[in-house]
Amino acid sequence: MAKKIIIVEDEEILAGLLYKKLTGLGYEVFVAVDGEQGLQAIREIKPNLVLLDIVMPKMGGFDVLRAVRGDEAIKNTKIMIISNSGQPVEIEKAKELEVQDWLVKTEFDPQEVLDKTVKLIGQAD
Amino acid sequence: MSFWSSKKTEQLAQTEQDQITLIESRFKEFWNFLPLPVCEINKNGVVIDANQEFQKITEYNITGLRDKSLTRFFSEKNKIEEIISSVFTDKKSIKDQNFSILNYSKQLIPVKFYCNFIKESNTTLVCLISQGSLKEIQQGMEEQIKLRTKDIEESRAALLNMLEDTEEARARAEEAMVKTETIFSNFLDGLIVFNPNGQLELINARAEKFLGIKKDDYVGKTFPILRKDKRLKSLLEIVGDSMQSVFRKEFVANSDLILEVTSTFISIDERKLSFLIILHDISRERVIEDLKNQFVSVAAHQLRTPLSIIKWGLGMFLAGDIGKITKDQTVLLDKTYQTNERMIKLVNDLLNVSKIEEGRYLYQPKIVDMQELVQQVYDSSKEVAQRKKVEFKLNIKKSEKEKIVKIDIEKMGLAIKNIIDNAITYTLPGGKIEINLSRTGDKIDLVIKDTGVGIPEKQQERVFSKFFRAANVVKLETDGTGLGLFITRNVVEAHGGKISFKSKEGHGTTFFITLPATV
- Hey, what long-range contacts does B209-218 have (CB within 8 A, 24 or more apart)? B210/B253, B210/B257, B210/B259, B210/B279, B210/B281, B211/B235, B211/B253, B211/B279
Domains and CATH numbers, chain B: 34-135 (3.30.450.20), 187-281 (3.30.450.20), 286-358 (1.10.287), 366-516 (3.30.565.10)
Q: Which is nearest to B292 in space by CA: B229, B352, B357?
A: B357
Domains and CATH numbers, chain A: 4-48+61-119 (3.40.50.2300)
A88 Cβ under 8 Å from any chain B Cβ: yes
Mean pLDDT, each 10-residue run in order, chain A (125 residues): 91 86 91 93 93 88 91 90 75 85 78 88 84
Question: Are A20 and B305 a contacting pair at CB < 8 A?
Answer: no
Q: What pLDDT does residue B8 have?
A: 55
What is the distance in angstroms between the Cα of B411 and the nearest Cα belonging to chain A?
12
Q: What pLDDT does residue B37 have?
A: 92
A10 Cβ under 8 Å from any chain B Cβ: no
Question: Are B312 and A88 a contacting pair at CB < 8 A?
Answer: no
Distance CA A120, CA A49 (A): 8
Per CB-CB distance under 8 Å, the chain A contacts of B364 are 88
B305, B311, B348 member nearest A11 (Cβ): B305
Per CB-CB distance under 8 Å, the chain B contacts of A17 are 312-313, 316
Q: What pLDDT does residue A79 have?
A: 93
Per CB-CB distance under 8 Å, the chain A contacts of B308 are 14, 105-106
DSSP structural state of residue B13: P
Distance CA B314, CA B318 (A): 6
Q: Which is nearest to A74 in space by CA: A117, A32, A109, A42?
A: A42
Per CB-CB distance under 8 Å, the chain B contacts of A9 are none
Distance CA B366, CA A88 (A): 14
Residue B254, beta-bridge partner list: B257
A11, A84, A109 member nearest B315 (Cβ): A109
Choose from A21, A90, A95, A106 for mutation: most chain B CBs within 10 A: A106
B506 Cβ under 8 Å from any chain A Cβ: no
In contact, B206 and B191? CB cutoff 8 Å: yes
Phi, psi of A52 (to 5 degrees): -115, 115
Distance CA A7, CA A88 (A): 23
pTM over 0.80: no
Mean pLDDT, each 10-residue run in order, chain B (519 residues): 54 70 88 90 92 91 91 90 90 89 89 91 90 76 88 91 90 91 89 89 91 89 87 86 85 87 83 86 85 79 83 87 90 93 86 74 79 91 90 89 86 91 92 93 93 92 86 76 87 91 94 91
Pairing of strands B508-516, B443-450: antiparallel
What is the distance in angstroms between the Cα of A79 and the nearest Cα belonging to chain B?
21
Query: 3-state class of B367 per DSSP?
Result: strand
Q: What pLDDT does residue B399 have?
A: 83
Phi, psi of B231 (to 5 degrees): -80, -25
Question: Are B301 and A84 a contacting pair at CB < 8 A?
Answer: yes
Distance CA B51, CA B62 (A): 8
Pairing of strands A49-53, A28-32: unpaired
**Residue in B with minimal Cα distance to A84:** B305
Q: What pLDDT does residue B10 have?
A: 53
What interface predicted TM-score (ipTM) does this complex get? 0.71
B364 Cβ under 8 Å from any chain A Cβ: yes
